[in-house]
Amino acid sequence: MVNFSNLDPILHYKLDPGEWGSNAPSSAAFSIGRVSTHEADNISRFKKQAIQKGCYVVSSSVSLNISKQGEYLAATSGKSQVIVYCPKKDENKYYKQLVPNINNQINQLKEQEKYTNNPVQKDEILKKIENLKFQKQAFKAIEQYAKDTTNISLIDFSA
Protein backbone atom coordinates (compact mmCIF):
# COMPACT_ATOMS: atom_id res chain seq x y z
CA MET A 1 0.00 0.00 0.00
CA VAL A 2 1.25 3.51 -0.93
CA ASN A 3 1.62 6.02 1.89
CA PHE A 4 0.31 9.24 0.29
CA SER A 5 1.58 11.46 3.12
CA ASN A 6 5.13 10.77 1.88
CA LEU A 7 4.23 12.03 -1.62
CA ASP A 8 3.15 15.48 -0.39
CA PRO A 9 4.65 16.01 3.07
CA ILE A 10 3.64 18.84 5.37
CA LEU A 11 6.40 21.42 5.86
CA HIS A 12 6.68 23.43 9.07
CA TYR A 13 8.09 26.95 8.96
CA LYS A 14 9.79 29.11 11.55
CA LEU A 15 9.75 32.92 11.45
CA ASP A 16 12.83 34.96 12.23
CA PRO A 17 12.70 36.77 15.59
CA GLY A 18 10.50 39.85 15.24
CA GLU A 19 9.29 38.85 11.77
CA TRP A 20 5.63 39.35 10.92
CA GLY A 21 3.55 36.70 9.25
CA SER A 22 2.14 33.24 9.70
CA ASN A 23 4.25 30.22 10.50
CA ALA A 24 1.39 27.86 9.61
CA PRO A 25 2.49 24.60 7.99
CA SER A 26 2.03 24.00 4.28
CA SER A 27 2.03 20.97 2.03
CA ALA A 28 5.01 20.64 -0.29
CA ALA A 29 2.70 21.16 -3.29
CA PHE A 30 1.71 24.65 -2.07
CA SER A 31 4.98 25.63 -0.40
CA ILE A 32 6.42 27.75 -3.21
CA GLY A 33 3.30 29.90 -3.33
CA ARG A 34 3.16 30.08 0.47
CA VAL A 35 6.81 31.12 0.97
CA SER A 36 6.94 33.50 -2.01
CA THR A 37 3.76 35.25 -0.82
CA HIS A 38 5.24 35.59 2.65
CA GLU A 39 8.47 37.08 1.25
CA ALA A 40 6.53 39.43 -1.08
CA ASP A 41 4.60 40.66 1.97
CA ASN A 42 7.93 41.31 3.70
CA ILE A 43 9.11 43.37 0.71
CA SER A 44 5.88 45.39 0.76
CA ARG A 45 6.24 46.04 4.47
CA PHE A 46 9.88 47.14 4.04
CA LYS A 47 8.91 49.48 1.20
CA LYS A 48 6.10 51.01 3.24
CA GLN A 49 8.44 51.60 6.18
CA ALA A 50 11.02 53.23 3.88
CA ILE A 51 8.45 55.55 2.30
CA GLN A 52 7.12 56.57 5.71
CA LYS A 53 10.67 57.57 6.69
CA GLY A 54 11.14 59.62 3.50
CA CYS A 55 13.52 57.11 1.96
CA TYR A 56 13.72 55.62 -1.52
CA VAL A 57 13.79 51.92 -2.35
CA VAL A 58 16.75 51.34 -4.65
CA SER A 59 16.44 47.58 -5.04
CA SER A 60 14.47 44.64 -3.72
CA SER A 61 14.91 40.91 -4.12
CA VAL A 62 13.44 37.62 -2.98
CA SER A 63 15.19 34.27 -2.98
CA LEU A 64 13.74 30.87 -2.13
CA ASN A 65 15.55 27.77 -0.96
CA ILE A 66 14.14 24.88 -2.98
CA SER A 67 14.52 21.16 -2.31
CA LYS A 68 12.73 17.96 -3.26
CA GLN A 69 10.14 17.03 -0.66
CA GLY A 70 8.15 13.92 -1.49
CA GLU A 71 7.15 14.17 -5.14
CA TYR A 72 7.45 17.99 -5.28
CA LEU A 73 10.04 20.69 -5.49
CA ALA A 74 9.23 22.67 -2.39
CA ALA A 75 10.28 25.99 -0.87
CA THR A 76 11.83 25.20 2.49
CA SER A 77 12.70 28.83 3.34
CA GLY A 78 13.02 32.25 1.80
CA LYS A 79 14.89 35.52 2.09
CA SER A 80 13.72 39.02 1.21
CA GLN A 81 16.02 42.00 0.92
CA VAL A 82 15.42 45.70 0.29
CA ILE A 83 18.14 48.27 -0.28
CA VAL A 84 17.04 51.74 0.79
CA TYR A 85 18.51 55.21 0.27
CA CYS A 86 17.61 57.82 2.87
CA PRO A 87 18.61 61.36 1.85
CA LYS A 88 19.39 63.99 4.42
CA LYS A 89 16.47 66.35 4.96
CA ASP A 90 18.21 69.32 3.29
CA GLU A 91 19.31 67.21 0.33
CA ASN A 92 15.94 67.60 -1.45
CA LYS A 93 16.43 71.38 -1.46
CA TYR A 94 19.87 70.80 -2.94
CA TYR A 95 18.44 68.80 -5.86
CA LYS A 96 15.84 71.48 -6.57
CA GLN A 97 18.61 74.09 -6.84
CA LEU A 98 20.72 71.95 -9.16
CA VAL A 99 18.49 72.11 -12.26
CA PRO A 100 18.41 75.95 -12.46
CA ASN A 101 22.17 75.99 -11.82
CA ILE A 102 22.72 73.49 -14.66
CA ASN A 103 20.50 75.60 -16.95
CA ASN A 104 22.68 78.64 -16.20
CA GLN A 105 25.83 76.67 -17.01
CA ILE A 106 24.31 75.44 -20.27
CA ASN A 107 23.36 79.00 -21.29
CA GLN A 108 26.86 80.28 -20.50
CA LEU A 109 28.44 77.48 -22.57
CA LYS A 110 26.08 78.21 -25.48
CA GLU A 111 27.18 81.85 -25.41
CA GLN A 112 30.81 80.75 -25.35
CA GLU A 113 30.20 78.42 -28.29
CA LYS A 114 28.73 81.28 -30.36
CA TYR A 115 31.93 83.30 -30.09
CA THR A 116 34.44 80.45 -30.45
CA ASN A 117 36.01 79.89 -33.85
CA ASN A 118 38.30 77.02 -32.88
CA PRO A 119 36.58 73.72 -33.91
CA VAL A 120 38.30 71.73 -31.15
CA GLN A 121 37.10 74.18 -28.48
CA LYS A 122 33.60 74.17 -30.00
CA ASP A 123 33.55 70.38 -29.84
CA GLU A 124 34.64 70.43 -26.18
CA ILE A 125 31.95 73.00 -25.34
CA LEU A 126 29.27 70.93 -27.10
CA LYS A 127 30.37 67.83 -25.15
CA LYS A 128 30.11 69.77 -21.89
CA ILE A 129 26.62 70.95 -22.87
CA GLU A 130 25.51 67.38 -23.63
CA ASN A 131 26.96 66.18 -20.32
CA LEU A 132 25.08 68.90 -18.43
CA LYS A 133 21.84 68.05 -20.26
CA PHE A 134 22.29 64.42 -19.23
CA GLN A 135 22.84 65.47 -15.60
CA LYS A 136 19.73 67.62 -15.73
CA GLN A 137 17.66 64.70 -17.02
CA ALA A 138 19.04 62.47 -14.25
CA PHE A 139 18.11 64.97 -11.55
CA LYS A 140 14.64 65.41 -13.02
CA ALA A 141 14.22 61.61 -13.06
CA ILE A 142 15.23 61.44 -9.39
CA GLU A 143 12.77 64.19 -8.55
CA GLN A 144 9.99 62.42 -10.49
CA TYR A 145 10.78 59.13 -8.78
CA ALA A 146 10.55 60.86 -5.41
CA LYS A 147 7.11 62.23 -6.33
CA ASP A 148 5.92 58.84 -7.61
CA THR A 149 7.06 56.97 -4.49
CA THR A 150 5.44 59.61 -2.29
CA ASN A 151 2.12 58.86 -3.98
CA ILE A 152 2.64 55.15 -3.36
CA SER A 153 2.66 55.83 0.39
CA LEU A 154 -1.11 56.26 0.17
CA ILE A 155 -1.43 52.54 -0.68
CA ASP A 156 -1.62 50.10 2.24
CA PHE A 157 0.98 47.40 1.59
CA SER A 158 0.10 45.33 4.64
CA ALA A 159 -2.97 43.67 3.09
pLDDT per residue as tens digits for the range 25-68: 888 899 999 999 999 999 999 888 888 888 888 888 899 999 99
Q: What local confidence, expressed as pLDDT, does residue 10 receive?
A: 87
What is the rounded (10 degree) CA torsion for 23, 27, 33, 36?
40
Name every residue whose Cβ is closer than 8 Å to that of residue 152 and which is 6 or more positions away in sequence: 47, 51
Q: What are the boundaries of each domain within the chain?
A: 4-85, 91-152
pLDDT per residue as tens digits for the range 110-139: 888 888 888 888 899 899 889 888 888 877
